[in-house]
Structures are given as C-alpha cells and as structure tokens.
Chain A
C-alpha cells in the first residue's frame, strides 16, 4: 500500500510538473504607433508644447528610434465644423528635443489657435519604409469650454520672478480661507485635472507631515523626491468628474475645499487646473488607458491619446 501511495504521488507530480508557468510575449509586433498629447485651448501647438507622434521602442533601442524620420510622412491638424467639414488645416512639423518631453514631437508652424468647444482632427499618414503602403492614424477631440479662476490673494497666475514675490498660502488655513474656486460656463459636468508641482529643489524640499514608519524631514534621494515615471511626490496629480454649482451671482462654480493634502513639501508651487476632454480623461483613468485615448488606425494597434484641455496656471508659496 505504501508503494502504491508513493507511486501515485510521483506520477501525479510528474504529469503536472511539465506545465508552462508563464505566458508568452504579448507585444509581438516590431512597434506600435503612438500619439500622445493634448491641444490647449487659446494656444497653438508650438515647439514648447508639441504632440508626440511616433512609435514604441524595444527595450534595447534608444529614444532616437521613437520617430519615423520619413519625409513622406504627413501630419495634419484639421478644424472641423458642425457639418463635419474641414474649415481649417495645418501641416505639423517635427521637433526633437530630448531634454524636454513637451518639445518632443510635432508643432504647428502656422500657429493655428485652438478654440474652445470645437472639434479638431489629427490625421497622420505613415508610409512604410519602401513607401509601398500607407498606414493612416487619426483621432478627434472636442475641446472643452474655457474655465476661469476666481480671484484669490494667495495665488497669482503669472510666475513671479523672485522667490519673495510668490503670494503666501498659510497651510493650516488653506482649505478654509483660500478654497480653489473655478468658474465654468454652465452647469455641465466637467472633467478636472489638478497638478501640484513643487518648484523647490531637492535640497530645499522639506516634508510638511511625518509619514508612518519614517522620521525623515527631507527626501533622501532625488528619486524619493521625483519618481522618474510619475514625478511623485514632487508632482501630485489627480482628476475627477465635477458638477458645477450655481453661485449667488448666477455663475457656475466648482469649489475645492480639500486640496491642501496635495502639498507634500513646504515652499513654492505651480498648480495647473485643467478642464480636460473625454479622450484624455479616459486615458488617465482607464486600466491600460493608452488603449482608450481615442486613437484610430488603419493598421490597428495605435496607442496613446489625443485630447484637449483648458487650463489655468497658479503660483503660490506654502508656509506654516
């Protein structure tokens, strides 16, 4: 009986142990098209704010391989009217500056100003290396309405030249005395994205709160201050769908009275408040959002997002 038991066990183990314990490679193509960027209302696509159009690279490739470098490639930004007619069109040009991701991609030499509540279409035609076939990528966005910041002495919307010129925001009373109030055009729900960026250098960055299991008052290394992928905790971003409320003056407002937890460090901040379109919003919140950003392709498998936003930039200095 013992030998039967032993034999049974060994047979069982041998049968079952030959199985594959991991999955195969997922992204088998040489590359996948990428479009990543958003149009900012009331501005144009400039060399300082490009839209990235290119491809994925393999783990052993350099950033230089992210572009097609094909002179036959065509990138057009089209303005579309309510009847789906193209009423304006710009041909975008490639700009490469690897030191700044905002400057990496395509800009509009004709400086077409992006208008609010307007549909824009991006059309990219990519010939293959022999120019035999064409892949077409396209995406559309409807730009959001303008948002405005309600005046507040703790913030300024032009970047002060000197440290001393930053308006002061007292941390303890920030939520109560200086709520962030945005005026919107109507009562329609909007997607708001908040970005809090600490302008202090690592050496001057001191934590506001003690964190459990740590007694550090400063981040120990650059990466503890600014994660290479997400930029946190130096940069804190979050986004949510908001429903504006009507104020006493008949205007519509979104008020944030719980924002001070977004400040991790004392010091100067640049705060960007953006009303964003559905494509960009879906890209941000979806699981594997790069598949949900509104990019279409004649050859399928184009990733990224083509969105639009209407933003406000604010500057302040957070003190005790």
Chain B
C-alpha cells in the first residue's frame, strides 16, 4: 500500500499547474527516408528558445512570442533547415514537420554523403546528459572490426569502456560488469546478447538506427542495473522508397530490406533484417567447431496520425555450438524480444510512449551419450513489461519526465539427468517469479540561462517468490533511487556538470568474474539484498570549434551487495535446504577514474582520440583471501585496465582529395587501442599434493600481463551504379601482429640433477594478424 501512496504523491507532484504560452511542436525526419531523426537541435533564431528532438523525432518549444519567428533545425551530416512561423495568438500551438536533407558533395557524378555525427554538447537539450555516448549506424559500419560491424565492439573503443578479451564483445563500463549493463532494444530488456567467442556482432548493425550508451549517472527513467544503460533503437524503415542491402563475407551473410506500406488511407513503414553464419558448411575443410548462429530484426510502423504512432518490433537470435568427443555436447543460447509501442501526443507539451514488451533469454548446456544418457542444464529468463514514459514541457524552464514500469520475470534454472546416478538434489533446480514495479519523475529546471538543476527520483518495489526452495524466503524490497544533476553553461560552447545517482539491481547473472553467454541469471530472495551502487560524476565539455569537441569526466562509483558465483555450489548444493545466498559469494567494490574524449569531424576525416584512467577494486567473500587473517582482500578484477588510449579515425579519401578512385568512393578506417595489461596472479611458493608439484598463488592481481595494443585497418571502395551500390572491402585485424596476452600459465618442472624447480611461463594469446574480405550490395 505504501508503494501506491508514493505513486499517487508523485503523480500529483508533477501535474501541478504550469502557465502555458504559444508553442511550436513537431517531428523531425530524414528527407530521404522519412525516418525520425533523434538528437536534432531545433531553436528559434535570435532567442534562447530551443529544443532537442527525442528518439521518436518529436520536439516542442514553448513560450514563443507573438509575431514572426524563424525556426532552425540542425544535425551534423544534414543541411540546416529553416522555416518561418507566425504566432498570432499567445495560446497558439503550431505543428511543424521538419525534413532534413543529407549533406553531400558531388564527385564526378557520384554523391558522397557526409557522415551522420552527433555533437558532444547538446546545447538545446534540456536534460543534463552525463556519461553519454551516441553512435549512428554509419559510425559503427565504418570501423574496422572482426568479422562484421558490431555495436558492442564499436563501443569498446570508447574511453571508460573496456573489454575482457578479443574473444568477448562484453562491455565493462567504468568498473561495472557485463550483467550490470541495462541493455534495451527498442525499450525491451535483452539478457546476455552475445555470440560465440565474441567473433560476431551482437546485433546486425544494418538494422540499427542509433545507439546511446550512458556510462553512469543515468536518469530516473532507467533503473534495475548498477553500471550503465545501452539504449539501442532499431531502424523504423524507409517511409519513402524500398531499399535493401546485402552483405556477405567468408563466414556470414545478412540482408536487410525496408520500405513504406500503405493500406487505404493508412500508411507506415517496415524493416526486416536477417543474418546467418555458415561456418558449419566448411567446418570439415578447416577442422572448425560445429557452430552457427542466426538472428533477425523486424519492425513495423503505423503512422496513424500526427498524434498517434504505433510501432511493433521483434528480435530473435540463437547460437548453437556442437562438439563430439565420444559423447556429444551441445551449447545453445539466444534471445527473443517483442515490443509494441504507442506514441501519443496528448497535447503539444505532453508527449507519451506506452510500451508492452516481452523478452526471453534461454541457455542450454547438454551432454548426451550413445547409451541414452543425458545431462542438461537450462536457464530461462522470461520478461513481460509494461512501461509508460511521459514528457511534460509546460514552459521553457521546466521539462518533466515521469512514468511507470511494471515487470514480471520468471526465471527457471534446472539440471536434469537421465540414466545417470547423480543426486538430483545436488544442483540448483528452481523457478522464481518476481514483479518489479517502479515509478519515476524527473524535472529539468533551467534556473537561469546558465544554471540547470535536474532532480529525479525512482521508486522501485520488488517482490519475488521461489517455487522449489523451501528455505528461500520471499523477497520484498522497496528502494528509493534519488538522482541529481547540476549544470553550469560556460558561455555558448562549454558546460560543467555534476551528478549523483543511486542505483539498485534485482536480477543478476552469476559468473566467476568473467561473463560468458551461458551464465545463469538469478533473481534475489529474502536472504540476498539487492545490489546497490552510488555514482558521483563531475564533467566538463566544450565544442571547441565546428570540427572539434572535447569532453572530460571524472567519476567515482561504489558497489555493495555484489554477487559472484560460488563454484562450490556445484558440489555442495542441496535443493531441500538451499537458498540463493548459498549460491553467491557476496561482496563490495568501488571504481574511480576519468575519461577524456576529443572528437573530430572535418572534411571527411571523422573519429576521436580517447584516453581513460580507471581504478576498479572488489572485495568478494571467499575470494582473494589473506592467509594470515582468513579475510578477503580488495583486488583489481580481470577487467581492470587502468590506462586506455584509443584512436579511431575514418578517412573518406574521396572526400578529402575530391577524387574518385577507379570510379569508386574510397574510405579508410583505422582503429588503434592501447590498454594496461590485465591483472593476474603469480606463483609465490610450491607445495606437493602427493601427485605433483603445485603452486601457491599470490593474490589474483599481484602483477600485470603485458600491455595490450592493436591496430586494425579497413579499406572500402563503393561503386554506385544507378540505384545499385557495390562495396567490396578488406579488413585487417592486428596489422602489426602484436602478441597480446589473454592469460599466463605457469608450469613447474623438476630439475632432476639438483631437485630445484624451474618455472615456465606460457601465455595464451589473443587475435593474431587476421584479414577479412567481404562485399556489400545495396539495392
């Protein structure tokens, strides 16, 4: 009941009366495709009045004075839009449809388009955007990347974000782990969206409109994770014409098609994309593992009216790895999601999105023998959510975001066996139901032209119950997550901001510090408190000139009630007496550091230089134990990187030299990364266990592996023949063939002459020099 009281109070709080004045509202879309354009700056010339289009392309500007004014819309990569609007009534609401045309130059009859690129500074954005990075499809596609373009890998190049290895596309954001990232695909939670060995991209980049990563201090509308938010928006599809693109390489192919639809007087657009690998067809030639994955995106939009739009979005993906070594081992995992969104403009100042969404993540690890033996470990996470997200902009001083979220999760984790005399009680076998309800509200208050204050609050109520564990008490947690940001605009092109936020996590994946696609997801029960993190951020950003933008952020995060999997669970668990606390090692941690980003976009040369310093430490019970005190000690986890330098540049050579090469537009992509070596343990003493010489290891972070560095390059040549485009490309990963080290193994050998032990150190490497070729076809 208490929860509903808070809900009522919050709703009342944000519906108190604001004065109203004339306003201009509307949608911004691409002239070429009709798709909404987010993050566009729209302002009234000669005034401080302005707005920023949201993900649906919607904007509203209030307090428009009577008379004629000039509306200007700007987005990098597009021509500036200008339109005169006449306001004759102080209560007038003017609706404007803005279409932006792609900026391009003509080279020998070929149109070369500017890259779509986002400003670091959003001067007309009301919200204070902290730790915010956005990337467009173009940004992602132009990078040289392993196998194919990847959202996750493109983000790994940015300061504050690190990867655990070349073989992983997981994101470790400012000391957070992979499962602490809230990954939203069209506003639906996606769990563990990774493909095998990180070789393949998580989502098909062609299907994606844009990606927004909030590295910390995220606003009140997001919750349920401790570290970051990755908000991915699928493309809505071309509303003007039919368009397709096919990409093929030696290991995978994909195809995307989009276009408008019209039935009677109703219209909209669609987009469909499918991708599959075919390694299994050539596995016998190259002795490869039997592996494939496929995934697909689909989106259908219905533009009912200027006030109402409905969008249905689907995603599915599955990986399967099969190995035979006497017995057969099969590992499968994948996600399916759907979401149905209704965008409704109640009035120009009240914009809303209502979402019904569902998601399923499943993983299976199965061993079967020819004698009808089966051992099967399954994990399923079902998610059904309803969300309402509303933006109310009563005047130019306030913008209020508020909404609700109700999420039902069912998590099943089971171990079953057939024809094996294993004790069925000795593996966690549970089904847990949980409901998370949350309401949030946040006001962005421009106190004056220089100062902006953004207070917010998210209130979450979590309840879970476990079917099979007699000793697992139900969980009931009510948690308040305050958020507060303050910004000071230094002149027209710079700002300083500070942020605080508190975050809770109610679902967690259990792993051994390094995530894998088949990690198990578990909720909490009454014995395990939700994870909690406080974020403190201080930042400065500046648009140095038309071509350069600069951003620096310092942060501190603390973590409590972290959970890691107890490996002993596999041997000690008893389903009759166990509770979730027996599965976890609990702990705490902190991280701090700073990210510096210098972005450039000049005459076809686009990219960034990033530097990141970060310290992450954790203290987990029963891990890294001090032998003298028997207490755990703080340690640097495997994903701690300390120093990180990234230089990423895409050079449109044709644009730079105003010249086509062999009649094609030529692009060179380069990406250089340097990271401090990962922490690792080292031998300190020897002992014998009666069978051989064993090593007594140091703390897990006693030394660092050699520093990591990698240079990747790509060269793309694109021929345009009528409406057909042909783009062959070559990508070379690790051009310098740097021997990057993933792990070190120590082997003690006895010298029989003097009985001394010689220690050999062996390294497991990461990607060597790897060339890829492929071709893209547009039609």
A residues adjacent to B (C-beta < 8 A): 1-2, 4-5, 8-9, 12-13, 16-17, 19, 21-29, 31-32, 34, 36-38, 50-52, 54-64, 66, 98-99, 101-102, 104-105, 171-172, 175-176, 179, 189, 208-215, 223, 227-231, 240-245, 253-258, 260-263, 281, 283, 285-288, 290-291, 301, 303-305
Contacts and interface: CB of A to CB of B under 8 A. Distances in A.
A62 B679 contact: no
Given A12-B613, A101-B690, A261-B327, 14 more contacts: A12-B554, A23-B701, A26-B684, A27-B627, A52-B690, A56-B685, A56-B687, A175-B370, A176-B371, A212-B323, A229-B693, A241-B426, A258-B371, A263-B326
Contacts of B628: 28-29, 301
Given A13-B613, A258-B371, A281 B571 contact: yes
Contact of A229 (B420, B571, B747): B747
A301 B689 CA distance: 16
Interface string B371-385: 111010000000000
Contacts of B493: 1
A1 B369 contact: no
Given A27-B696, A240-B422, A59 B685 contact: yes
Nearest to B573: A241
B371 A52 contact: no
Contacts of B289: 212-213
B326 A260 contact: yes
- List 4 tightest A-B contacts by C-beta distance, closest first: A261-B326, A258-B369, A257-B371, A175-B371
B686 A56 contact: yes
B571 A245 contact: no
A229 B691 CA distance: 9
B542 to A, nearest CB: 6
Contacts of B323: 212
Nearest to B328: A261
A258 B552 contact: no
A51 B373 contact: no
B88 interface: no
How many interface residues does chain B have, given as a range?
Answer: 35 or more
A261 to B, nearest CB: 3
28 contacts: A5-B550, A12-B594, A16-B593, A16-B613, A22-B636, A23-B702, A26-B697, A26-B702, A27-B684, A29-B627, A36-B690, A66-B687, A175-B373, A176-B370, A176-B371, A179-B371, A209-B324, A212-B288, A231-B692, A241-B571, A242-B423, A253-B421, A256-B420, A257-B373, A258-B367, A281-B571, A301-B628, A304-B687
A16 B615 contact: yes
A254 B373 CA distance: 14
B642 interface: yes
Interface in B621-647: 622-623, 625-628, 633-636, 642-643
A13 B633 CA distance: 26
Nearest to B551: A5
B754 A62 contact: yes
B626 A26 contact: yes
B48 interface: no
B270 interface: no
A257 B684 CA distance: 42
Contacts of A64: 755
A195 to B, nearest CB: 10
Given A12-B613, A175-B373, A288-B625, A23 B633 contact: yes
Contacts of B494: 1, 5
Given A16-B593, A23-B702, A34-B687, A1 B542 contact: yes
Given A16-B613, A175-B369, A257-B419, A34 B688 contact: yes
Contacts of A23: 633-636, 698-702
A225 to B, nearest CB: 14
A13 B752 CA distance: 51
Nearest to B494: A1
B422 A52 contact: no
B538 to A, nearest CB: 10
Interface in B324-381: 324-327, 367, 369-373, 375
B709 to A, nearest CB: 17
A237 to B, nearest CB: 10
Contacts of A51: 690
Contacts of A55: 687
Contacts of B325: 209, 211, 261
Contact of A1 (B490, B685, B690): B490
A55 B687 CA distance: 7
Contacts of A175: 369-371, 373
B704 interface: yes
A243 B421 contact: yes
A215 B287 contact: yes
A62 B552 contact: no
Contacts of A260: 326-327, 369
A31 B568 CA distance: 27
Contacts of A66: 687-688
Contacts of A1: 490-491, 493-494, 542
Contacts of A27: 627, 684-685, 696, 698
A223 B642 CA distance: 35
B594 A16 contact: yes
B685 A32 contact: yes
Contacts of A60: 756
